[in-house]
């Protein structure tokens, strides 16, 4: 029976015809697929008492890929037609050459859907969203007379995808995403500081629009701003550092996570290349990449090659035990794909990427960890950071941090940056708290020009001997 392959896309691509073209493109290849996508996204931002931006974006298209060995043939188009598909297959076919490959087995069936597939763009009318942003602005200004500027934003999107494999395997997924952010600037005695907070996930937008949620978001942004208003310059030098739970896991994500992606290790450019089975971290340190946590920002029911999402253990009790893999790198490394083949859109090829990267908790009371810190800082909020995966060296700026002296938490510090390298930091972990938490749902990860949503998590972590940059 003939039926429309891209049924949600309402395009004229009959299943049998699309499958025939894909099979021609991948004849003699090791792997390949058609990845089709339709995406709709809306964002509204309110700044300085007025609506600053309202945007709506819609896109659709497909990417066709043929893989043989280390070579990938890929073509994409925003034209969902058989003529465009045939042209794309001719381009992708160039990577296969004379063939000789053995087509890899398709992924297993997915285990469960990790989110509802609900369309969050229809949760509230446009005027209702504007009224909410205006209410957020008024609430923040009324909360403290020192508030001089407020910014708030609401974002919602729905990504609908379909994957067709040469054996006829056909997968569909609808991936919602929502987020609400607030930023508050305060001024006192000529000094101005700011704080921000927000988050979301693969959920309906309605929950974020409830007063209980958005007021807590604004309160936290204001709290951070007021903390920074009294901050003193950070002292520079080598210090012990206690990272707070949750969002500070972004340091783990950048400094360690990228180095545990399969492609970097296959090519030998990761600082962890060749260390499988060896001790790379302190006792008790276990790191997982878990794309199966329901409704989380980094979670996916299956990845962008169709492999079901998994809980992938990377480091177990300090020992390197796994990498994050897509299908191509797993095959070339004689391993198994782990559900980490991700792409930004139909116009991009998949590659090994993180989902929700988490350091598991320990059994230490965070209060005892702080009480035992003689001279260091307590870093509980992070902004931007940079890392070089070839050596793991990182630089991260703190958005909220405190001096700690003789076990007493003192004044907040401003301008603190943490400098080190992931491989060394892993071995300098001295204690793990029993307060493991996930971030509020605000991570984006960039790699080779592609951006995908991710999550992080960790407990309080005591790292000895990190270099702290500062002006004090």
- Which residues is 160 bridged to in the sheet? 38, 174
Distance CA 367, CA 407 (A): 9
Instruction: Please spell the DSSP secondary structure of 434-447, one letter per residue.
Output: S--EE--S-EEEEE
Distance CA 277, CA 413 (A): 40
Torsion angle in degrees (nearest 10) through CA of 387, 390, 392, 393? -60
Contact between 123 and 13 under an 8 Å Cβ cutoff? The reply is no
Between CA 201 and CA 210, with CA 207 as vertex, the angle to 5 degrees is 135
Task: Tell me the pairing of strands 461-469 and 443-447.
Answer: unpaired
Per-residue pLDDT of the chain (472 residues; tens, 9 = 90+): 334 444 554 456 888 999 999 999 999 999 999 999 999 999 999 998 999 999 999 999 999 999 999 999 999 999 999 999 999 999 999 999 999 999 999 998 887 899 998 999 999 999 999 999 999 999 999 999 999 999 999 999 999 999 999 999 999 999 999 999 999 999 999 999 999 999 999 999 999 999 999 999 999 999 999 999 999 999 999 999 999 999 999 988 888 899 999 999 999 999 999 999 999 999 999 999 999 999 999 999 999 999 999 999 999 999 999 999 999 999 999 999 999 999 999 999 999 999 999 999 999 999 999 999 999 999 999 987 778 877 888 999 999 999 999 999 999 999 999 999 999 999 999 999 999 999 999 999 999 999 999 999 999 999 999 999 987 6
Distance CA 271, CA 262 (A): 12
What's the confidence (pLDDT) of residue 174? 95
Contact between 367 and 83 under an 8 Å Cβ cutoff? The reply is no
DSSP state, residue 140? H
Distance CA 257, CA 315 (A): 10
Distance CA 20, CA 29 (A): 15
What's the confidence (pLDDT) of residue 455? 97
- Surface-to-core class of residue 56, CB atoms within 10 Å of its CB (0-12 exposed, 13-18 middle, 19+ buried): exposed
What's the confidence (pLDDT) of residue 7? 56
Contact between 398 and 466 under an 8 Å Cβ cutoff? The reply is no
Mapped to the 3 state alphabet, what secondary structure does 52-93 carry?
EEEEEEEEEEEEEEEEECCEEEEEEECCCCHHHHHHHHHHHH
What's the confidence (pLDDT) of residue 112? 87
- For the chain, domains (ranges, CATH) are 120-162+172-230 (3.30.2290.10), 237-469 (no CATH)
Instruction: Please state the φ and ψ torsions of residue 461, each to the nearest 5 degrees.
Output: -130, 125
Q: The pTM is what?
A: 0.95
From residue 25, alpha-carbon distances to 77, 226, 382, 409 in Å are 16, 60, 46, 63
What's the confidence (pLDDT) of residue 9? 45
What's the confidence (pLDDT) of residue 12? 63
What's the confidence (pLDDT) of residue 1? 32
DSSP state, residue 256? I
From residue 298, alpha-carbon distances to 42, 154, 179, 192, 282 in Å are 19, 19, 13, 34, 27
End-to-end Cα spacing for the chain: 74
- Surface-to-core class of residue 459, CB atoms within 10 Å of its CB (0-12 exposed, 13-18 middle, 19+ buried): buried
Instruction: Please state the φ and ψ torsions of residue 107, each to the nearest 5 degrees.
Output: -65, 160
The residue with tokens 């749902």 is 441
What's the confidence (pLDDT) of residue 316? 98
Cβ contacts of 313 within 8 Å, gap of 6 or more = 286, 287, 288, 321, 322
Torsion angle in degrees (nearest 10) through CA of 125, 131, 137, 142? -140
Instruction: Please state the φ and ψ torsions of residue 177, each to the nearest 5 degrees.
Output: -155, 130
């Amino acid at each position: 029976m003939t039926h429309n392959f891209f049924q949600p896309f309402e395009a004229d691509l009959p299943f049998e015809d699309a499958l025939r073209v894909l099979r021609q493109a991948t004849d003699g290849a090791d792997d390949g697929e058609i990845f089709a996508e339709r995406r709709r996204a809306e964002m509204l931002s309110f700044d300085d008492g007025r609506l600053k931006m309202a945007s709506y974006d819609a896109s659709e298209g497909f990417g066709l890929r043929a893989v043989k060995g280390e070579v990938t043939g890929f073509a994409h188009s925003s034209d969902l037609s058989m003529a465009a598909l045939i042209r794309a297959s001719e381009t992708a076919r160039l990577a296969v050459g004379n063939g000789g490959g053995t087509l890899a087995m398709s992924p297993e069936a997915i285990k469960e859907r990790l989110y509802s597939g609900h369309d969050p763009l229809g949760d509230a009318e446009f005027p209702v969203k504007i009224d909410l942003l205006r209410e957020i602005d008024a609430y923040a200004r009324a909360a403290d007379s020192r508030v001089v500027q407020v910014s708030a934003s609401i974002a919602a999107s729905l990504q609908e995808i379909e994957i067709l494999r040469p054996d006829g395997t056909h997968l569909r997924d609808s991936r919602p995403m929502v987020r609400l952010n607030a930023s508050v600037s305060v001024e006192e005695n000529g000094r101005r500081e700011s704080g921000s907070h927000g988050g979301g996930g693969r959920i309906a937008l309605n929950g974020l629009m409830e007063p209980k949620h958005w007021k807590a978001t604004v309160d936290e942004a204001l709290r951070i701003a007021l903390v920074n208003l009294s901050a003193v310059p950070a002292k520079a030098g080598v210090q012990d550092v206690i990272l707070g739970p949750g969002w500070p896991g972004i340091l783990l994500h950048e400094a360690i996570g990228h180095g545990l992606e399969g492609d970097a290790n296959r090519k030998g450019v990761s600082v962890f290349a060749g260390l499988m089975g060896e001790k790379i971290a302190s006792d008790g340190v276990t790191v997982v990449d878990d794309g199966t946590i329901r409704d989380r920002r980094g979670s996916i029911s299956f990845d962008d090659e169709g492999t079901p999402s998994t809980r992938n253990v990377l480091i177990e009790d300090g020992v390197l035990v796994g990498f994050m893999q897509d299908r191509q790198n797993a095959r070339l490394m004689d391993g198994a794909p782990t559900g980490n083949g991700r792409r930004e859109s139909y116009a991009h090829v998949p590659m090994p990427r993180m989902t929700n990267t988490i350091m598991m908790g320990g059994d230490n009371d965070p209060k005892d960890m702080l009480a035992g810190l003689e001279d260091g800082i307590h870093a509980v909020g992070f902004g931007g950071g940079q890392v070089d995966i070839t050596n793991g060296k990182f630089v991260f700026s703190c958005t909220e941090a405190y001096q700690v002296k003789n076990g007493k938490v003192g004044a907040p510090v401003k301008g603190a940056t943490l400098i080190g390298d992931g491989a060394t930091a892993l071995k300098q972990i001295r204690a793990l708290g029993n307060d493991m938490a996930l971030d509020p749902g605000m991570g984006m990860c960039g790699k080779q020009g592609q951006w995908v949503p991710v999550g992080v998590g960790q407990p309080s972590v005591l790292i000895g001997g990190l270099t702290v940059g500062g002006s004090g």
